[in-house]
Amino acid sequence: MNDANNPRFTRRAVLKGAVLLATAVTALSGATQQALAGNKASKAAMQYRDKPNGKKECSNCIQFVPGKTPKAMGSCKVVAGKISPHGWCLAYAPKS
C-alpha cells in the first residue's frame, strides 16, 4: 500500500490537520499578545535608575503615574515596580 491509498493521508485528513494547526497557532498568538500586554518590563531590562538623566526624569515622562504627592514614589505604565519621580530609563518619552 502506498501513501495515496493510506486512509491516514487522505485529502480530508490533511485539510483537517491544516485547519487544526491554523486554529492552534491563532490561539497561541492571542495568548502571547495578552500575556505581553499584561506584563511590564523589569527595571533591569530598561536600565532604570533612581537618578535623572540630565533634565530627563520620570516626572516629565508620559509613562509616569505620579504618587500621592509630587515627591512620592509613583508607578510607570511600562516598567514594573515603584518608580521615583526623579528616575529615568531607556523608555523615557517626554511630555509634549
For residues 55 and 92, the answer to whether their CB atoms sit within 8 Å is: no
Among 66, 67, 73, 78, binds ligand SF4 (CB under 6 A): 78
58 in contact with ligand SF4 (CB under 6 A): yes
64 in contact with ligand SF4 (CB under 6 A): yes
Among 16, 34, 35, 63, binds ligand SF4 (CB under 6 A): 63
**Cα four-point dihedral sign 85, 88, 93, 96:** positive
Among 23, 37, 38, 76, binds ligand SF4 (CB under 6 A): 76
- Give how many residues touch ligand SF4 by CB under 6 A: 14
Alpha carbons 87 and 72: distance in angstroms, whole number: 12
Alpha carbons 73 and 66: distance in angstroms, whole number: 7
